Structure 1
């Protein structure tokens, strides 16, 4: 499956979504960026704009694609995720039906529950730097293999 995820910057903080509202959610109890499934005929950029609006109420402009992350679970589940840095947007934040939205500094984020592999590409996101491709393999919640291509 193909997805987008974006990190919306405000001053020295980024917007995260604490996933706590959906049943059977692989991300339940973790902080992640906003985003979602790429629909048929949609570019990753179009998806990012749509998903950011649906999940946050913010109208983003010119999302900057930084790289791609390939996730693989030991049960065979895979994701291809396009990662965006976003600092141009308008509108007011609204409540999300997927979880709680919260702005945090990178330091605050690292102290909260998240996928450990996200730290590998987020160090690039927090600096708005391209990172190429990461392949992250998990066994349950444990990161067991990492590959990185610049």
Structure 2
């Protein structure tokens, strides 16, 4: 039986930098060794906005004041028998600072502020490089990104 996972991701920006998470701490982490945005899986009853707001605070200590919704991406068979659906956000309006302790002690990895022009140079999913380019269009999108054994096979997108 196939499982559907609902997830969120957010790219937090400040002073020409984006906060990225280098995943290197969780066992059996499909994202191990990769840089990703801040986010995670839904808890029961949450809306996408509630989920990403909670994840931002849990992982970074920041409080998002205003989120910008960009779109929904489906990842069929992303992980053994699991289809993942990811709601994509960005945030430039938030409260707080990411403490040095939190930068190094996030349960899933190390938090790093990366200059915006260097983000695409990081070790990340190939699909992430593609959809990060869509963020600057200002359009909402629905997309499908397909991987096979961790390798990008194809993708499609509709902009609205």
Task: Specify the TM-score bucket, using the shorter chain as the normaliser.
Answer: over 0.9
The one of 73, 90, 97 equivalent to 1:92 is 97
1:46-104 CA-partner distances (Å, limit 9, x unpaired) = 11111000000001112111101111237432100000010011112142111011111
Q: Which has the higher strand share?
A: 2
Q: Does 2:148 correspond to 1:139?
A: yes
**Aligned residue in 1 for 2:66:** 62
Please list every run of at least 4 consecutive aligned residues from structure 1 whose deviation after the TM superposition is greater than 4 angstroms: none
Q: Quick check: 2:145–2:155 contact (8 Å CA) kept in 1?
A: yes
Shift of 1:140: 1.2
Q: Does 2:88 correspond to 1:83?
A: yes
Q: Quick check: 2:77–2:84 contact (8 Å CA) kept in 1?
A: no
Q: Does 2:157 correspond to 1:124?
A: no
SS in 2 for 1:117: helix
Q: Which has the higher helix share?
A: 2
Q: Quick check: 1:19–1:100 contact (8 Å CA) kept in 2?
A: yes
**Aligned residue in 2 for 1:4:** 8
RMSD over aligned Cα atoms:
1.5
Unpaired runs of 5+ residues, structure 1, are none
